[in-house]
Amino acid sequence: MGASAMSRKPLEDKAIKAVIDELERQAGECPSKLEVRRSGEKVTVNGEIDIDALVMVIVGSMAGGP
């Protein structure tokens, strides 16, 4: 997330939100395998990620899904 929130486009903001929300959802389901911490515009992720689910969320956000 190198670009500041002021310079991002709405589609980028939507994709970033979708990624963070999905990572936090996965961490909530299995906190022993995945930890997600936010600090301002930075996110620290430690553990296993279900990449298929993450990609589906990203593609869905780009296609106008929820």
CB 34 within 8 A of CB 48: yes
Query: How do residues 4-61 score in pLDDT, each as one tens digit?
Result: 656 778 888 999 999 999 999 999 999 999 999 999 989 999 999 999 999 999 999 8
Q: What is the model's pLDDT at position 61? A: 86
C-alpha span between 2 and 47 (Å, rounded): 22
Question: What are the angstrom distances between the C-alpha of 59 and each of 10, 19, 47, 52, 62?
Answer: 15, 10, 22, 11, 5
Residue 66's pLDDT band (boundaries 50, 70, 90)? low
Domain ranges within the chain, ordered by starting residue: 16-62
